[in-house]
Chain A
Amino acid sequence: GQQVQQSPASLVLQEGENAELQCNFSTSLNSMQWFYQRPGGSLVSLFYNPSGTKHSGRLTSTTVIKERRSSLHISSSQTTDSGTYLCAWSNYNVLYFGSGTKLTVEP
């Protein structure tokens, strides 16, 4: 079956440091999406990014779909960035999620 691999599984940063999160998929799919899962569990969509690079504030997502990979870059991290970052790949009708990267940003 499809597998979505995220790395690292966890990451601890000091406030102000940058982070690079990786997401790889084992078979070809057609689009992907990054989510932030709050400590309370709710999901927030960060990027819908089937290909190319997108920016939103301190976040940048780059997807190379032919290589089945996507990355999420967080610059100048803040304590409020702490939480779990999930990537998910789509085959038109189903999202397949990775296990997430748990980010902790310390003051």
Chain B
Amino acid sequence: DPKIIQKPKYLVAVTGSEKILICEQYLGHNAMYWYRQSAKKPLEFMFSYSYQKLMDNQTASSRFQPQSSKKNHLDLQITALKPDDSATYFCASRHGGENSDYTFGSGTRLLVI
């Protein structure tokens, strides 16, 4: 069974629309993250949360807003979508506050047309 569930796996959106990417982890981790992988670029860090609080944000645009309704959820709301937002978005988690390994979800592949 997947330990980090990301939904949907694939998403096609129209420019200017808004979408929410879902992430749930069942590992008992207190730290959750979002990463993005655009075509031909390395995975890049977007956000980190610990105990449902924002710890670090390296996303320049306010169009990207994480939402943590429960301690094992970290959704990503993206507004006013642009074609450049097309990428695979990965959710990850780990035991925060210590050196521990990261577990990644299988990603949501977003295409903005």
Please report whether the interface of chain B is mostly helix, strand, loop or mixed according to DSSP: strand
Pairwise interchain contact B90-A95, C-beta atoms closer than 8 A:
no
- Taking the closest CB of chain A, its distance from the CB of B58, in whole angstroms, is 7
Pairwise interchain contact A86-B43, C-beta atoms closer than 8 A:
yes
Contacting residues, chain B, for A35 (C-beta < 8 A): 104
Pairwise interchain contact A94-B45, C-beta atoms closer than 8 A:
yes
**Is B106 close to A, CB under 8 A?**
yes
Q: Tell me how many residues of B have a C-beta within 8 Å of chain A.
A: 26
Which of B33, B44, B101, B107 makes the CB contact (< 8 A) with A33?
Answer: B101
Which of B41, B101, B103, B109 makes the CB contact (< 8 A) with A41?
Answer: B109
Pairwise interchain contact A33-B102, C-beta atoms closer than 8 A:
yes
| Given A41-B106, A41-B107, A97-B42; 20 other pairs, CB 8 A cutoff | A4-B42, A30-B99, A33-B101, A35-B104, A41-B88, A42-B107, A43-B104, A43-B107, A48-B101, A50-B99, A86-B42, A86-B43, A94-B45, A94-B58, A96-B45, A97-B43, A97-B44, A98-B42, A99-B42, A100-B42
A→B interface (CB under 8 Å): 4, 30-31, 33, 35, 41-43, 45, 48, 50, 86, 88, 90, 92-100
Selected A-B contacts with CB under 8 Å, 5 pairs: A43-B90, A93-B31, A94-B58, A98-B42, A99-B42
